[in-house]
Amino acid sequence: MRHRWIAAFAGVALLLLPQLVTPSSAQNNAPRAPAQPAPRLPDGRINVGPLPGQSGVWLPAAAGLTRADSPNANGVLQNPTNPRVSDVPFQPWARALYAYRDLNEFEPHTRCKPSGGTRQFFTPYGVEFVDMPEMKRMFIMDIGGPHTYRIIFMDGRLHPKDLAPSYYGHSIGHWEGDTLVVDTTGFNEKFWFDRQGSPHTEALRIIERFTRMDSLTMKYEVTVDDPGAYTARWNSAFNLRWVAGQELFEYVCQDNNFASELMIGAEKSVDRSSKIVP
């Protein structure tokens, strides 16, 4: 059941959604322009957002951080270079929880909770990077989330010693050549940090590397470091693809929710006559 839903979601979200949210049908049917060199800001740094006067968002070109052990997982888009699930260095309890989540998809994202870590890049409708060098901050806005955003501090600060765990954690970033490197820790355990349900603890730390290869492609690399859930660090990567002409729009997860069957997982019915307590 899980694979059927993922296949359907991937097919719609990754292939159809860019067309559904584009205002012009003529633009929908237009051939995609060839890639150009990665745009740069006046100071020479790579521009991870749109050019002045233009718009666009980043969408994932894969379905997650890992790939199924089966070579044909019901057509789900997978990065062939990512680790297979069987190769991920789970601790025994984490592997058991992963297997449970594979059969019982009670993901917090479907109940309108923020999606931290790499899961932010798999939310519907894409993400936008907002670079504000005058504030020495970078913002990542995910459109298909519950009105949340992530702050990356670019002023050289360190992580606070006593972080209150949160959905997005505390992110500090710097540039290594044309690559934006982001170090994030201080996560809580109330979300899935990837779409497949890989477990994590409050000890989770991720190192992300964003490299805009050209005008249409951003390479995303991540190192997962969580001694509470894994026996070793592990790495994954996928590409984000640029969809021009898209704008951030108001998305309220709770409004007109068409995925109520996903609120409890496994597409089972639920009695909604009783009072719902958040």
Q: How far, in Å, CA of 136 to CA of 154, rounded?
A: 5
- Domain that residue 221 falls in: 2-21+54-263
Asked whether residue 121 is domain-assigned, the answer is yes
Structure token pair of residue 141 = 């806005």
User: Who's near 230: CB < 8 A, 6+ residues apart?
Assistant: 88, 89, 90, 91, 94, 224
| pLDDT, tens only, 29-46 | 456 678 999 999 999 999
Highest mean predicted confidence (pLDDT) among 2-16, 51-65, 250-264: 51-65
Contact (CB, 8 A) for 152 and 137? yes
Say if residue 44 is exposed, middle or buried (CB neighbours under 10 Å; 0-12, 13-18, 19+). exposed
Asked whether residue 34 is domain-assigned, the answer is no
If pLDDT is split at 50, 70 and 90, which confidence band does 262 have? low
Asked whether residue 89 is domain-assigned, the answer is yes
**pLDDT at residue 108, rounded to an integer:** 87
Which stretch of DSSP H or E encloses residue 100? helix 92-103
Asked whether residue 214 is domain-assigned, the answer is yes
Q: What angle do CA 197, 277, 3 make, to 5 degrees?
A: 25
Q: How far, in Å, CA of 36 to CA of 27, rounded?
A: 19
pTM of the model: 0.80
If pLDDT is split at 50, 70 and 90, which confidence band does 161 have? very high
- Mean pLDDT is lowest, of 92-101, 103-112, 145-154, 250-259, for 250-259
Length reported for the chain:
278
The residue written with tokens 């003529």 in the block is: 26
Structure token pair of residue 127 = 């993400």
If pLDDT is split at 50, 70 and 90, which confidence band does 256 have? low
**Strand partners of residue 187:** 166
Asked whether residue 203 is domain-assigned, the answer is yes
**pLDDT at residue 31, rounded to an integer:** 61
What is the radius of gyration, based on Cα positions, of the chain? 19
* Count: domains in the chain: 1
Q: How far, in Å, CA of 16 to CA of 29, rounded?
A: 12
